[in-house]
A and B are shown apart, each in its own frame.
Chain A
Amino acid sequence: MARFKKEKSGELPALNTSSMPDIIFMLLFFFMVTTTMREVTLKVRTRVPQATEVQKLEKKALVSFIYIGPPAQTQLYGTESRIQLNDSFRTVNDIAEFIYLEREARDEADRQLLTTSLKVDKEVKMGIVTDVKQELRKVGAFKINYSTAKKSAKKVE
């Protein structure tokens, strides 16, 4: 009996925190691995429309993006919708070269799987989008994806 009593008495032992760095490192590595840094700075505003029937884009390495929208700096570039490829404003005529370079950057086996994702602002008129689509058809980039946000609630019918 005396022995038990002895253990119960005394102060609360200090919490062992020596494994805290390990836990934090674990979290750190998780975030480091999942982080994808945006490599382009957006010069156009792209608030994509919402839709319910969306599919997730798989294999992000095989996706090339085309941004279309009104320039973010309207006082500098005006409000007319522009096409952005990589880091700069381009015209429809540059799309063929852009797709060609995107293909060159991939493995030969993956080139057929390359998807072009169109990130287009909702206020853009279809004219410029149609031009881009025609250009993509010409160079044989048939797989496209209209980037949309998932609408949370289903529309009431």
Chain B
Amino acid sequence: MARKIPEINAGSMADIAFLLLIFFLVTTTMDVDSGIVRRLPPPPDPTVPPPDIKERNIFNVLVNKSDRLFADGKWGDISTLRADAKEFLLNPQNREDLPEKKMETIKYLGEYPVSKGVISLKNDRGTSYDMYIQVQNELAAAVNELRDDLSKQKFGVKFSELTNKDYIEAIQKAIPVSISEAEPEDIGGKK
């Protein structure tokens, strides 16, 4: 006794699906969020005195309110900052005025001279964010290039292309990201 149900016309289904498809196509934002990842230091403990670091182990980068760069005692430029930072961290000729190194045994690398150098970054309240990012970027690039070089030398591929977690850890230990930001101070006045 079942009555025959008339077939539903599905011809317009494609049109409806198209409509929805176009809606999602238009609203989709495919942008991947990316950026420079940093770790902030915990707040300073007033009971613990700041660690004593030798003059030769610090690379001072200062940026003033008109975005001028003062790197390690002389006026610098953003274009040379990367090379300067690399030389500081690597100290290829073991110069007296560049940081000391400490021999450390690292798995997969053996004895490796780890630099004790610290890059200290200090900016004014009036520095533009763009300049700050450029400086951070150049310093990050210096560290990344050093890591790439070491990785190529030891494992044959760039650091960014390493997949073995142990290798990545070994390189990270050999060349740490030693960028510290000074406690903020108002040096250049407001704006």
Q: Using known A-B contacts A21-B10, A21-B13, determine if residue A49 contacts B130 with beta carbons closer than 8 Å.
A: yes
Which residues on the A side are within 8 Å of B82 (C-beta)? 157
Q: Does A117 contact B (CB under 8 A)?
A: yes
What string of 1s and 0s marks CB contacts (under 8 Å) between B16-36 and chain A? 011011001101111011111
- Asked if B157 is at the interface (CB within 8 A of a chain A CB), the reply is no
Chain A min CB distance to B126 (Å): 5
Interface size class of A (residues with CB under 8 A): 35 or more
Q: Which of B54-62, B105-113, B134-142 forms contacts with chain A?
A: B134-142
* CA–CA, A34 and B2, complex, Å: 44
Could you give, for residues 140-154 of chain B, a 1 whenever the CB lies within 8 Å of some chain A CB and a 0 otherwise? 110010000000000
Q: Is A92 on the interface with B (CB-CB < 8 A)?
A: no
Q: Does B3 contact A (CB under 8 A)?
A: no
Which residues, 133 to 191 on B, are CB-close (under 8 Å) to A?
133-134, 136-137, 140-141, 144, 184, 191
Cβ of A126 and Cβ of B132 under 8 Å apart? yes
**Contact A145/B35 with A53-B141, A134-B184 known, Cβ cut-off 8 Å:** yes
Whether A148 contacts B36 in the complex (CB less than 8 A), given A49-B129, A130-B184, comes out as yes
A25 to B129, CA, bound (A): 45
- Is A144 a contact partner of B140 (Cβ separation < 8 A)? no
Give the shortest distance, in Å, between A144 (CB) and chain B (any CB): 6
Contact: A126 with B137, CB < 8 Å?
no
**Are A27 and B79 within 8 A (Cβ)?**
no
A111 within 8 A of B: no
Residues of B within 8 A of A (CB-CB), count: 46
**Is B41 engaged at the interface, CB distance under 8 Å to the other chain?**
yes
Is residue B38 contacting chain A, with contact meaning CB distance below 8 A?
yes
CA distance A38 to B32 in the complex (A): 13
Residue from B40, B128, B144 within 8 A of A124 (CB atoms) = B128
Q: Which B residues are within 8 Å of any A CB, using their own CB?
A: 10, 13-14, 17-18, 20-21, 24-25, 27-30, 32-43, 79, 82-83, 123-130, 132-134, 136-137, 140-141, 144, 184, 191
Which A residues are within 8 Å of any B CB, using their own CB? 17, 20-21, 24-25, 27-28, 31-32, 34-38, 48-49, 51-57, 60, 63, 115, 117-118, 120-127, 129-130, 133-134, 136-138, 140-150, 155, 157
Known: A51-B136, A129-B132, A146-B36. 11 other contacts (CB 8 A): A21-B17, A49-B129, A52-B137, A53-B137, A53-B140, A57-B32, A57-B34, A137-B41, A146-B136, A148-B34, A155-B79
